[in-house]
Structure 1
Amino acid sequence: MIQKKVRPVFSRAVFATSILVLSTIAFVALNTFSTVGFQNARLDLTDRSLFTLADGTRNMVNGLREPITLRFYYSEDVVTEIPALRAHAQRVRDLLQEISSASNGNVRVEEINPQSFSIEEDQATDAGLTGVPLRTGDKVFLGVVGTNTVDGREVIGFLSPERATYLEYDLARLIFSLANPEKPLLGVVSNLPLDTGAGGLLLAMEGRSEPFMIYQELKNSFTVDFLEQDFDRIANEIKVLALVHPKPMDPQTLYAIDQFVMRGGRVIAFLDPHSEVSLTAGPAGKPVQGYTEASNMPELMKSWGVEMNPNEVLADKLRAQRVAAGARQRRQLTDYVLWQRLLPEDFASDDPITAPLDALHTGSAGILEPTADATTIFTPIVQSSPEAMILDLERVKSAPSPDDLLRAFEPAGERFTIAARISGPVKTAFPDGRPLADDEEEVPTALKSSKHLVESIDDANIVIFADSDIFDDRFWVQVQNFLGDRIAVPTADNASFVVNAVENLMGSNDLISLRAREPADRPFTVVEDIRRDAEEKFLAEETRLQTRIDETEARLAALRAELPEGAGAAALLTDAQEAEMASLQRELAEGRRALRDVQGDLRRDVDALGARIAFLNMALVPLLVGAVWLVLSWTRRRKRATRAQAAGRSVMSADTNTGAAS
């Protein structure tokens, strides 16, 4: 009996076309739904949640007592052919929308497109925004004007892409300033030209001063009040006093600081056994007049339960920064153990000042230790790595080369404290009261009304950092000039530490979680270890060969000294002397050749390491993908072959059964 073949209702072509049409409809519907339904949805897969609104921002906008309006001026029509700027502007727009959504209506965002020769363009210019001119004659505006319900107004003139990693902090600081128009008062005592830069008053009078960028950050958050370096009393309005590399202070000034702490005042001190920033040359080629190379306050430090040896400087091999090796070296960079790049494992993870930091750059820092009879609690918040040692100050002042420091380096095998928080009860450093000045017979009448305190009213809260070079712009920031404005692009969190510490001592923590949210510098630690080991071997071999060359040259010089003077002196050499001199000259040439080979081998090792890393980065993943594809292809072919064999056996079995039945 012959069975009729049943034809399908739809042909394969119709079925395929239907599937294609339905898939297209589903794709369009899904995209439309996701655009509308998930407009504000975000999936942040970065290591430190760099694109997720921080808790500090959420707390701030949720706690606003009055509405704030942010006007976002963006020349959208002009930047259509500038993809990078358009992408950055989109991120600004997204972040503003997230802030508005998280504020429960407290932050209103208005977007304005200031087209050329329009009223909106005039408004943007009048508001203080910076228009970047293009070759077409148009101007690009990308800034924010924030206002509150009274007369408060804050402006970000241009949201530069170079500060993209600080975008949330810049916007949050603008909102914070509008919500808190009265900035806290910060007292500052310093012998560094924080407000003028290395140019000092001379350039400041000419309008060409360049203040330290950390000082600019402090001014953005606080009202900074510089105190004279000799004073009798600190005003009650000052709650936090910053001592930034102060000059040696007289007993009356030290007493005023002592009583400030007794009354509950907070102190952050930056002291230094060897301040490199104070030695920075100004326009005249000399440091600022009145500079001091070192700073310390042993009398007050003792009463606070901490000490810093003025003759000790920290060196750290594991955290050494890379510097130029010198013109006579065959490699470009080398480790400089006196300058450190400290990493998160060197910071106290449970302290709000240091917990969010990624890196700190320090130079010739000091070492802090608790005193034996301290009544306070000494808590390290910044430390060296275990591969650190103590150098004598005079050795540092002799300006040894980076390689000389590496050759003589002997790690102590312990961490040394660079910054510490001091807390707990404090006793006065002046139990007998205010000391009299040389020209005084009794305490001035204006000071007699002040009660002398022998113990602190409340537990002290003091932060001490044994380095002043943390303020040096060269150490931590690249300053770029953008249409007359100075834009800071940090390479370390030095400013974050300083402002975090002041805000923490002031009692404000909302901005701390934002300030250091830039992408962390994530070095190839394995590569760094390999490089460090290679350089260590190179230096050891170089030292051995150089010693051999020096000894050979000394023997040659001694041999030549035995010869009489005159042109025919060489003819008076004995056969033994002539053979020895020839041998020494060959040995000298061989030593110099070996030294060149060692220097070349180091460079070749570094280049080979770079080539291997480049291969792993570029070729390994494609090779792995290709290998997986080959395995899958081979597996699929095997399955097809197995199915074909099974089908063949079924057909043969059916034919056999049919033949048997017939």
Structure 2
Amino acid sequence: MGPRGFTFLASLMSLAIFAGLNIAAQNWLSPARLDMTQNHLYTLSDAAREVTQDLSEPVELELVYSRQLAAEFPDIRAYGARVRELLTEISARSNGNVRIVETDPAPFTPDEDRITDAGLESAPTAKGDPLYFGIIGRNSVDDQIIIPFLEPQREALLEYDLVKLISQLDDPTPPRVGIITDLRSLTGYGRNARDPYILREMARSFEIEQIPENFQVLPRDLDAIMIIHPPELTLRQQYELDQFILRGGHALIALDPASRSVLTSRGRRTRLSSGLGKVETTLGLLPLHDVVIDREIGLPVERIENGRRIVEAQPLFIAPPPANMSKTDPVTTELSRSINFGAAGRLVATPPMEASFEPLIWTSDDAALISSQKGGRDLAPRDLLTDYAAIGESQVLAGRLSGRFTSTFTADDIPPIKIPDDPVEARLLNIPEVLPEHLATAEADAQIILVSDADLFSDEFYISPANDTPAADNAAFVLNAMDNLAGDAALVRLRSRAPSSRSMTRIDGMRDEARNRLYEEQSVLEDQLAATEARLEELKAQGAAGGFLSQSRNLDEAQAEEMARFRADAIDIRDRLRGIERAFRADIDRLEQRIVFFNMWLPPILTALLGMLVVFWRARRKGR
């Protein structure tokens, strides 16, 4: 064989080997990946593998995706690739339990009729054709559960949503959760777009039952109950909750010493605090009389002073970071963002011998206490900091009570059921013919998660109004708690993987340093400006009392000169304040310019220099 023939044959063999290696790598290495994201967003979690590998029967997930239409929308197209990639990995890691199919429905076809009948939603496009992007899940007995539309805003919860769907297909009956609350915003069922975010998310995993305010008997088929800022409970209602706990019930209880949500919606004349009556004695829980404030973890709030926007920490609204959360309890161990509280109380629990209390969330050591009456007022941060007296130790904001409890009621003082005379009202109470026997001591371990604030359920405290997404982990905490109490505990670890909004720590540090450096000068100038403007108003009032229309004509010469001087002083002070604000931005602007240079200009400059060096080096070699 000649050299040319050998070269040709070797080239063909190399091409065949290259193609074979690519095919082998596609099959063998497709699951391999290097995930450099902070919270390992692109790595299938152990909890997801646990759920998918332990299915009692295979399930099928159908990805309905209008791929051609999605090509016109970069966000949808990128998210479609992410969904397809994750579905492929779930299927590969499920030991054959999860089968994936994909459908690209054309308009006016049987496929489109089938998916619309299933309940999938479409997004409108400029061409008028519907864009479908959802999931239809099926199990072997033809149960069907859907995700109507995969919204890119929920990308952080994509793995949770898919694995939850798989878990529901394996056991289609959702847990039933009863809600007792006096908060009007939490009286829905999560099916309305105006319902709070927490209710809407709960409706995806649980069957919600609103327990009426006049209940006398709790439903017996509840998997868990939520008691969120309850109304004043009657003795009969307290007894029902007491017995629910003794029967090993699971509950999330959120009480409040001064509910800001109630204050905003109903005013000061409404009861702002909440309690459980004799049930607190059953649990060994002290009433919430004080409000916790904490200047170290206060939420930033804005105020307008002298026409200027000022941002400062509000000690009444606190945001404990993940460092102030339990790392051993599944409800909080993987939360990655702070939880926002509003006028929270402190939890002090002394449970009986057969029960225990473990803190879940707590303040810093710099916390202080104020009365609930003071906590229910609109106080500025400076008002709270004037007489701030730090306790010197952290205060518990949320905790877990678990174990066995003893009833506060005896068999002789069981509150009777009051049956209305109206037969219709009596029927609505759903009172069973045979009531369970009274328990003096627990027959099973109870699990109770206590929270000292009901405001953390309110959207205003943690939902970003710009995109209706959480800016803090309030919802993740509550939903983790309900999954732990009534649902699949494996899902807790999945929901908690939502990535935190990563702040620019260096810029924040520079801003704090500049604020500390210039705060004193700013305060002096603001005081001078306030005094100057007050004197100007006084001079104007004197002129107005004289009945003149043009102050500059009618004021005497001394007053006119004084007003002109004060106006000049006010202009000068405002200029100096603007200079301070520019100083706040100067270092940050310089850092921004350096970042732009290193990210946008330096790489092409280095590439060009490297190319020039290579050309110069090759030219010198040829010259030799």
Q: TM-score range with shorter-chain normalisation? A: 0.7 to 0.9
Please give the alpha-carbon distance, in whole angstroms, between the structure 2 residues aligned to 1:636 and 1:547.
Answer: 64
Q: CA deviation at 1:478?
A: 4.6
Q: Which residue of 2 aligns with 1:484?
A: none
Please give the alpha-carbon distance, in whole angstroms, between the structure 2 residues aligned to 1:449 and 1:222.
Answer: 26
Q: Which residue of 2 aligns with 1:401?
A: 380
What's the RMSD between the two structures over aligned residues? 4.6
Q: Write the letter of the residue equivalent to 2:293.
A: A
Query: Aligned pair in 2 of structure 1 residues 606, 434: CA closer, same or farther (>3 Å)?
Result: farther
Please give the alpha-carbon distance, in whole angstroms, between the structure 1 residues aligned to 2:357 and 2:159.
Answer: 34
Give CA deviations for 1:384-415 in whole Å, capped at 9, x if unaligned: 23443333333343312345546665655532
Residues 63 and 100, structure 2, Cα contact 8 Å, conserved in 1: yes
Q: CA deviation at 1:507?
A: 6.3
What is the DSSP-based 3-state SS (H/G/I as helix, E as strand, rest coil) of the residue aligned with 1:242? strand
TM-score (norm 1): 0.76
Q: Which residue of 2 aligns with 1:342?
A: 320
Please give the alpha-carbon distance, in whole angstroms, between the structure 2 residues aligned to 1:392 and 1:128.
Answer: 52
Please give the alpha-carbon distance, in whole angstroms, between the structure 2 residues aligned to 1:279 and 1:114.
Answer: 51
Please give the alpha-carbon distance, in whole angstroms, between the structure 1 residues aligned to 2:73 and 2:195.
Answer: 33
Larger Rg: 1
| Partner of residue 168 from structure 1, selected from 146, 159, 168 | 159
| Partner of residue 93 from structure 2, selected from 65, 89, 102 | 102
Please give the alpha-carbon distance, in whole angstroms, between the structure 2 residues aligned to 1:296 and 1:159.
Answer: 41
Answer yes or no: is 1:474 the counterpart of 2:464. Answer: no
* Equivalences for residues 201-216 of structure 1 within 5 A: 210-216=194-200
Q: Write the letter of the residue equivalent to 1:42.
A: R
Of residues 213-222 and 62-71 in structure 1, the stretch that sits farther from structure 2 once superposed is 213-222
Of residues 36-45 and 622-631 in structure 1, the stretch that sits farther from structure 2 once superposed is 622-631
* Equivalences for residues 239-638 of structure 1 within 5 A: 239-281=223-265, 292-297=271-276, 299-310=278-289, 312-326=290-304, 328-331=306-309, 333-371=311-349, 375=353, 376-402=355-381, 404-405=383-384, 411-431=390-410, 434=413, 436=415, 450-478=436-464, 489-506=469-486, 508-532=488-512, 534-535=514-515, 541-544=521-524, 596=574, 599-620=577-598
Of residues 499-508 and 522-531 in structure 1, the stretch that sits farther from structure 2 once superposed is 522-531
Residues 256 and 288, structure 2, Cα contact 8 Å, conserved in 1: no
Query: Aligned pair in 2 of structure 1 residues 94, 586: CA closer, same or farther (>3 Å)?
Result: same
Residues 70 and 145, structure 1, Cα contact 8 Å, conserved in 2: yes
Query: Aligned pair in 2 of structure 1 residues 612, 424: CA closer, same or farther (>3 Å)?
Result: farther
Residues 479 and 488, structure 1, Cα contact 8 Å, conserved in 2: yes
Q: CA deviation at 1:144?
A: 1.0
| Partner of residue 127 from structure 2, selected from 122, 136, 159 | 136
Query: Aligned pair in 2 of structure 1 residues 18, 64: CA closer, same or farther (>3 Å)?
Result: closer
Q: CA deviation at 1:89?
A: 1.0
Query: Aligned pair in 2 of structure 1 residues 451, 631: CA closer, same or farther (>3 Å)?
Result: same
Of residues 108-117 and 409-418 in structure 1, the stretch that sits farther from structure 2 once superposed is 409-418
What is the DSSP-based 3-state SS (H/G/I as helix, E as strand, rest coil) of the residue aligned with 2:309? coil
Q: CA deviation at 1:370?
A: 2.6
Answer yes or no: is 1:71 the counterpart of 2:51. Answer: no
Give CA deviations for 1:603-657 in whole Å, capped at 9, x if unaligned: 22331232133134222467887998899999999x99xx99xxx9xxxxxxxxx
- Alignment size in residue pairs: 594
Residues 336 and 473, structure 2, Cα contact 8 Å, conserved in 1: yes
Answer yes or no: is 1:185 the counterpart of 2:176. Answer: yes
Residues 308 and 368, structure 1, Cα contact 8 Å, conserved in 2: no
Query: Aligned pair in 2 of structure 1 residues 177, 617: CA closer, same or farther (>3 Å)?
Result: same
Query: Aligned pair in 2 of structure 1 residues 65, 48: CA closer, same or farther (>3 Å)?
Result: same
What is the DSSP-based 3-state SS (H/G/I as helix, E as strand, rest coil) of the residue aligned with 1:64? coil
Please give the alpha-carbon distance, in whole angstroms, between the structure 2 residues aligned to 1:341 and 1:499.
Answer: 18
TM-score (norm 2): 0.80
Residues 73 and 142, structure 1, Cα contact 8 Å, conserved in 2: yes
What is the DSSP-based 3-state SS (H/G/I as helix, E as strand, rest coil) of the residue aligned with 1:324? strand
Residues 262 and 426, structure 1, Cα contact 8 Å, conserved in 2: yes
Residues 257 and 345, structure 2, Cα contact 8 Å, conserved in 1: no
What is the DSSP-based 3-state SS (H/G/I as helix, E as strand, rest coil) of the residue aligned with 1:306? coil
Q: Write the letter of the residue equivalent to 2:484.
A: N
Q: Write the letter of the residue equivalent to 2:595.
A: N
Answer yes or no: is 1:218 the counterpart of 2:197. Answer: no
Query: Aligned pair in 2 of structure 1 residues 539, 404: CA closer, same or farther (>3 Å)?
Result: farther
Of residues 390-399 and 462-471 in structure 1, the stretch that sits farther from structure 2 once superposed is 390-399
Query: Aligned pair in 2 of structure 1 residues 320, 526: CA closer, same or farther (>3 Å)?
Result: farther
What is the DSSP-based 3-state SS (H/G/I as helix, E as strand, rest coil) of the residue aligned with 2:399? strand
Q: Write the letter of the residue equivalent to 1:504.
A: N
Of residues 207-216 and 239-248 in structure 1, the stretch that sits farther from structure 2 once superposed is 207-216
Please give the alpha-carbon distance, in whole angstroms, between the structure 1 residues aligned to 2:204 and 2:164.
Answer: 9
Q: CA deviation at 1:459?
A: 3.8
Q: CA deviation at 1:63?
A: 1.3
Query: Aligned pair in 2 of structure 1 residues 244, 18: CA closer, same or farther (>3 Å)?
Result: same
Q: Which residue of 2 aligns with 1:7?
A: none
Q: Write the letter of the residue equivalent to 2:38.
A: D
Residues 239 and 415, structure 2, Cα contact 8 Å, conserved in 1: no
Query: Aligned pair in 2 of structure 1 residues 446, 45: CA closer, same or farther (>3 Å)?
Result: closer
Q: Write the letter of the residue equivalent to 1:98.
A: E
| Partner of residue 53 from structure 2, selected from 58, 62, 66 | 62
What is the DSSP-based 3-state SS (H/G/I as helix, E as strand, rest coil) of the residue aligned with 2:174? coil
What is the DSSP-based 3-state SS (H/G/I as helix, E as strand, rest coil) of the residue aligned with 1:220? coil
Q: Which residue of 2 aligns with 1:112?
A: 103
Q: CA deviation at 1:166?
A: 1.4
Of residues 392-401 and 116-125 in structure 1, the stretch that sits farther from structure 2 once superposed is 392-401
Please give the alpha-carbon distance, in whole angstroms, between the structure 2 residues aligned to 1:426 and 1:449.
Answer: 21
| Partner of residue 116 from structure 2, selected from 119, 125, 131 | 125
Query: Aligned pair in 2 of structure 1 residues 411, 522: CA closer, same or farther (>3 Å)?
Result: farther
Query: Aligned pair in 2 of structure 1 residues 51, 558: CA closer, same or farther (>3 Å)?
Result: closer
Q: Write the letter of the residue equivalent to 1:264.
A: G
Please give the alpha-carbon distance, in whole angstroms, between the structure 1 residues aligned to 2:131 and 2:340.
Answer: 39
What is the DSSP-based 3-state SS (H/G/I as helix, E as strand, rest coil) of the residue aligned with 1:368? coil
| Partner of residue 228 from structure 1, selected from 192, 202, 212 | 212
Give CA deviations for 1:500-555 in whole Å, capped at 9, x if unaligned: 11221236311111112222222233433443454466665555555667789999
Q: Write the letter of the residue equivalent to 2:236.
A: Q
Q: Write the letter of the residue equivalent to 1:344.
A: P
Please give the alpha-carbon distance, in whole angstroms, between the structure 1 residues aligned to 2:149 and 2:211.
Answer: 34
Please give the alpha-carbon distance, in whole angstroms, between the structure 2 residues aligned to 1:101 and 1:86.
Answer: 23
Please give the alpha-carbon distance, in whole angstroms, between the structure 2 residues aligned to 1:86 and 1:535.
Answer: 43
Q: CA deviation at 1:73?
A: 1.2
Please give the alpha-carbon distance, in whole angstroms, between the structure 2 residues aligned to 1:546 and 1:309.
Answer: 39
What is the DSSP-based 3-state SS (H/G/I as helix, E as strand, rest coil) of the residue aligned with 2:83? helix
Residues 331 and 603, structure 1, Cα contact 8 Å, conserved in 2: no
Residues 347 and 452, structure 2, Cα contact 8 Å, conserved in 1: no
Please give the alpha-carbon distance, in whole angstroms, between the structure 2 residues aligned to 1:109 and 1:60.
Answer: 16
Q: CA deviation at 1:593?
A: 6.5
Please give the alpha-carbon distance, in whole angstroms, between the structure 1 residues aligned to 2:583 and 2:387.
Answer: 24
Q: CA deviation at 1:348?
A: 0.7
Q: CA deviation at 1:90?
A: 1.4
Q: Which residue of 2 aligns with 1:13?
A: none
Please give the alpha-carbon distance, in whole angstroms, between the structure 2 residues aligned to 1:539 and 1:38.
Answer: 57
Residues 129 and 157, structure 1, Cα contact 8 Å, conserved in 2: yes
Give CA deviations for 1:429-458 in whole Å, capped at 9, x if unaligned: 335753547999xxxx98996443333334
Extract unaligned runs of 5+ from structure 2.
420-430, 540-544, 548-556
What is the DSSP-based 3-state SS (H/G/I as helix, E as strand, rest coil) of the residue aligned with 2:286? strand
Please give the alpha-carbon distance, in whole angstroms, between the structure 2 residues aligned to 1:450 and 1:521.
Answer: 50
